[in-house]
Amino acid sequence: MTASPPIRILVVDDEVRQMQAVCDTLDLHGYEVTGASDPQAALNGFTPGRYDLVLTDLMMPGMDGIALITAISARDAEAVCILMTGAGSIGSALEAMKAGAFDYLLKPFTFSALVPVLTRALAVRRLRLDNAALTRANRERTRELELLNRELEGFAHAVSHDLRAPLRGINGLSRILLEDHRAGLDASAQDYLARIGAAAIRMGQLIDDLLRLAQVSRAALVHGRVDLSGIARTVADTLRGSDTGRVVDIVIADGLSARGDACLLRIVVENLLGNAWKFSGKTAGARISFARETTAQGEAFSVRDNGAGFAMGNGSHLFKPFQRMHTTKEFPGTGVGLATVHRILDRHGGEVWIESAPEQGTAVFFRIPEDSAEV
């Protein structure tokens, strides 16, 4: 087993005999001690991390203990300093603690009186070093994340431009073949070309949804009071206008609001109401509701439909990209919408969950804390 390194202590006292006595006592008990009778010389030789603790006298010519502690603390924010002072200088000792001293000792003192002070000081030293290491790690992690975000932005740019062009070409050429050369193609060839075009369109939709997911993960949140009822009504009007042949009973409760980013919460409502509209598309007498309910998890917003539903099983996996309970032949989609909803609510400090059963419809619940902060 590797032995722990000795604890390094700097002792500063212009009274040489007293300084030497403290050094000898500490050395006898296994500490690695450096003594100095000149505070300026001690400061000149001080470098961050060289000593675990500093013991300094208060009254010294040229530079007193308070000035020395202030200078050392300015060089090393993790330094732990202990002041040695006479009984008549308690007020000065308290001033030294305001300047950065951790504690003080009244002279003369015994080693038994020094031990608890050293123990507390070393514990504080370890905490300061751990905090400094954590700060450095966080700073490095932040830098890495910034670099990663820039790389992701570059990738998103490449995806949005470089991949769209060949997809447009595939879709366009397959459509030209179908339109201009249909007579020379048998039914199988026409079916293959139609499927090629549909696959290209679907790939374009996947790209759009992935880019949208990336954007909601990076965008800065702007918090405010958001009128969810108003957003839901606008979304409902858009859905009705997109399919005028459907008659759907959509009930939106009044006064629904939350504190969060209006743009991102609009995406949440659009996705959830859009899913309810889609998965109730084959249901006679389709109904959709947006309300606030009391659940086992507490008060939550709910989007309910009486559509296809599904067997729950591991329903939580639906919040991961590309996970679906229905095939694209049954219901179109890319499987990214709920992942986007989950990411938005996660960034708001909220949560989302689903309840469903086959042919019994689906209910999606979500909560947003009033004191939500960006994640």
Give the residue from 86, 109, 132 where a domain finishes. Answer: 109
The answer to whether residue 290 sits within a structural domain is yes
Give the side-chain half-sphere CA count within 13 A for 134.
Answer: 6
What are the φ and ψ backbone dihedral angles of 190, each rounded to 5 degrees?
Answer: -65, -40
Distant-in-sequence, close-in-space partners of 53: CB < 8 Å, separation ≥ 6: 7, 8, 9, 10, 80, 81, 82, 118, 121, 122, 125
Q: Mean of the pLDDT values across residues 18-29? A: 92
Q: pLDDT of 245-283, one tens digit each? A: 888 899 999 999 999 988 889 889 988 998 888 888 778
- Position of tokens 């890495």? 144
Quote the CA–CA distance of 147 and 128 in Å, as a whole number: 28
The answer to whether 275 and 337 are in contact (CB under 8 A) is: yes
Q: Residue 65's domain spans which residues?
A: 8-109
**Residue 118 clears pLDDT 80, i.e. is over it:** yes
The answer to whether residue 170 sits within a structural domain is no
pLDDT at 98: 75
Q: pLDDT of 173-194, one tens digit each? A: 888 888 888 888 888 888 888 8
**Residue 31 clears pLDDT 70, i.e. is over it:** yes
- Residue predicted with more confidence, 163 or 169: 169
Confidence category of residue 9, pLDDT binned at 50, 70, 90 = very high
The answer to whether residue 198 sits within a structural domain is no
Confidence category of residue 332, pLDDT binned at 50, 70, 90 = low
Give the side-chain half-sphere CA count within 13 A for 250.
Answer: 21
- Report the chain's mean pLDDT, rounded to a whole number: 83
The answer to whether residue 164 sits within a structural domain is no
**Residue 319 clears pLDDT 80, i.e. is over it:** no
- Residue predicted with more confidence, 136 or 146: 136
Q: Mean of the pLDDT values across residues 280-304? A: 89
Give the residue from 109, 135, 153 where a domain finishes. Answer: 109
Q: CATH number of the domain at 49, please.
A: 3.40.50.2300
The answer to whether residue 351 sits within a structural domain is yes
Q: pLDDT of 205-245, one tens digit each? A: 777 767 776 667 666 778 899 999 999 999 999 888 888 88
Together in a domain, 82 and 231: no
The answer to whether residue 212 sits within a structural domain is no
pLDDT at 239: 87
- Residue predicted with more confidence, 374 or 143: 143
- Residue predicted with more confidence, 144 or 315: 144
Together in a domain, 239 and 371: yes
Total residue count of the chain as it appears in this document: 375
If phi over 0 gives left and psi between -120 and 50 gives alpha, with beta otherwise, what is residue 215? alpha
Together in a domain, 248 and 371: yes
- Residue predicted with more confidence, 13 or 182: 13
Q: How far is CA 178 from the centre of its chain?
A: 50
The region of weakest confidence among 32-46, 80-94, 310-324 is: 310-324
**Number of neighbours of residue 21 by Cβ within 10 angstroms:** 15
pLDDT at 54: 93
The answer to whether residue 331 sits within a structural domain is yes
The answer to whether 352 and 342 are in contact (CB under 8 A) is: yes
Report the C-alpha dihedral over residues 86, 91, 97, 99, rounded to 10 degrees. -110
Domain count for the chain: 2
Confidence category of residue 325, pLDDT binned at 50, 70, 90 = low
Report the sign of the C-alpha dihedral through residues 84, 89, 92, 97, in that order.
positive
Quote the CA–CA distance of 295 and 355 in Å, as a whole number: 11
pLDDT at 159: 65
Give ∠ CA 59-62-64 in degrees, rounded to 5. Answer: 35
Q: Mean of the pLDDT values across residues 99-122? A: 86
Together in a domain, 232 and 94: no
Q: CATH number of the domain at 344, please.
A: 3.30.565.10
What are the φ and ψ backbone dihedral angles of 53, each rounded to 5 degrees?
Answer: -140, 155
- Position of tokens 């009778």? 37
Q: Mean of the pLDDT values across residues 44-48? A: 92
Confidence category of residue 35, pLDDT binned at 50, 70, 90 = very high
SS3 130: helix
pLDDT at 302: 94
The answer to whether 375 and 349 are in contact (CB under 8 A) is: yes
pLDDT at 183: 84
Give the residue from 109, 140, 158 where a domain finishes. Answer: 109
SS3 59: coil
Together in a domain, 229 and 369: yes
Ranges assigned E (strand) in the chain? 8-12, 32-36, 53-57, 81-85, 103-106, 223-227, 249-252, 257-261, 287-295, 298-305, 351-356, 362-367
pLDDT at 375: 44
